[in-house]
Structure 1
């Protein structure tokens, strides 16, 4: 089972600000930006109110969210989806990413309503870069090929000033 870093009171405040609401059903921090801020959180597969929540890895870093939105607005997802239909190796790797996502989430609870549902359109299409990038950051390189590709296109988003720590994005902590 993948272990996540617990959220401190400061982390909870940062995540609430990033989301614009109080976070629900948090498991922990799945990835931190180099400045130490939570950038991806892991969320329980069933929220405290009982509703199923398929987005186990949730991208919160506002710089990453903005870059994903920029890429999505540029229309790259249609091309990525088309490549899944033409490139068997990519399709197989993306299917493995889907299975990895499902296994990570299942370790925190089975939710029958979410059976075989991961996130971001996996395994057959590219629907949400935010979810795929969150998975790529949390799982590390080589697990989610589309998330890795999107990260490459985004460049070092964390080098822009951190809205919480200022400066150049570097600072306390590091990627986990």
Structure 2
């Protein structure tokens, strides 16, 4: 049985429409938006053709991918990376999230690498990965992913693409990255 066979055909069709191509290596829908659409899929560490694919959680909802791209373009990652260097508690959470990500992926198949995604554990490289990870695992696992989701909620996605009860930027104590000169 292929990995895709464990996911409904309706979900695979919806994901294909979201991505504009057939999905690969889908093991499950790990996050579904409040309006019922797949938002994050868990993928096999190795695709059916044998290609390694270390991205465990993959963002599929175009509303979320657009928002992650918007945040990246706005330079949010620079501020987050700077905070990793300045805040030992934040850095510890990021390292723990990295180790959890690897452990979960390795339970499926060990690729023999310590690459997780999103730049973990030293820097913030991809908000798509961090947002997907936070949504799949829920708040409290990967703090910077939680923050990216909270910022997406404030950008108008709360209650349709994102949970209505996701912690707010204020509840998470997110700095206003627009006010920081990190360029």
**Fold-level similarity (TM above 0.5):** yes
Q: Where does structure 2 lack aligned partners over 5 or more consecutive residues?
A: 1-5, 164-183
Map of 1:38-49 to 2, 5 A cutoff?
38-49=38-49
Q: 1:63 to 1:157 in 2, by over 3 A?
A: same
Q: Which residue of 2 aligns with 1:86?
A: 86
Q: Matched residue pairs, number? A: 156
| Conservation of the 8 A alpha-carbon contact between 1:41 and 1:57 | yes
Match of 1:28, SS state, is strand
Deviation at 1:35, TM superposition (A): 1.6
TM-score normalised over the length of structure 2: 0.81
1:132-171 pair list within 5 angstroms: 132-155=130-153, 157=157, 159=159
C-alpha distance in 2 between matches for 1:12 and 1:121: 28
1:25 is aligned to 2:8? no
Please list every run of 5 or more consecutive structure 1 residues that lacks an aligned counterpart in the other structure: 1-5, 163-168, 171-176
The structure with more helix, counted as a fraction of residues: 2
Deviations 1:18-51 (A, max 9, x none): 1111111111111100122110000000111111
Q: Deviations over 1:134-168 (max 9, x none)?
A: 000001110001000111111151545x7xxxxxx
Please give the TM-score of this superposition, normalised by the length of structure 1. Answer: 0.84
Q: Evaluate the alpha carbon distance shift between residue 152 and residue 158 of structure 1 in structure 2; reply closer, same or farther with a 3 A threshold.
A: closer
Checking the alignment, whether the CA contact within 8 Å between 2:54 and 2:111 is kept in structure 1 is no
Higher relative contact order (CA 8 A, sep 6+): 1
What is the Cα-based RMSD across aligned positions, in Å?
A: 1.6
Instruction: Give distance in 2, aligned partners of 1:34 and 1:88.
Output: 34
Following superposition, the deviation at residue 131 of structure 1 comes to 0.3
Instruction: Report if the CA contact (8 A) 1:33-1:158 is conserved.
Output: no
1:107 aligned counterpart, secondary structure:
helix
Cα pair 1:59 1:134 within 8 Å, conserved: yes
* Residue of structure 1 equivalent to 2:67: 67
